[in-house]
Amino acid sequence: MNAPDRFELFVLPDGVKKLTITPDTKIPNAATFQVEKEDHTLANMLRMQLLDDPKVLFAGYKMPHPLDHYFILKVQTTPDTTPAHVLGNAVTELIQNVGSMKNKFEMDLIRARSDNAKADNGEGEDISSHQ
């Protein structure tokens, strides 16, 4: 059919950069970032993380077309920082948040498996005694 090959969704062609930064000439402290081979998942997470930063005045993204696998992120900051700097901070914070979430999930999974093992061995609490 007309569908592109699956690998085109995530493999960068030769000579294509993952991130392109274009400073905005009309708005002070603003820039446009084009991120290749990513979708709404990363774009929305970045936008929300950027909006949590008090130095960010504006952060928004768009996906130009569903068959084009990139997004455009626009960022405007206060004069005491740059869009590239706040984007770098946002990426670092997102990596930390995802790592923390992963650790919490793994600990909860270990705890649930331990609870299930105790219940299977009859070590769990007898529910009928509470009725």
Residue-wise pLDDT for 15-32, tens only, equals 989 999 999 999 999 999
Residues with Cβ within 8 Å of 29's Cβ and at least 6 positions away in sequence, in order, are 57, 76, 77, 78, 79, 81, 82, 83
Question: What's the pTM value of the predicted model, to 2 decimals?
Answer: 0.79
Helix (H) or strand (E) segment spanning residue 43:
helix 40-51
DSSP 8-state class, residue 128: G
pLDDT band at 13 (very low <50, low <70, confident <90, very high): confident
Which DSSP symbol is given to 5?
A: P
Q: Which of 122, 121, 51 shows the shortest CA–CA distance to 86? A: 51
Residue-wise pLDDT for 54-98, tens only, equals 999 999 999 999 888 899 999 999 999 999 999 999 999 999 999
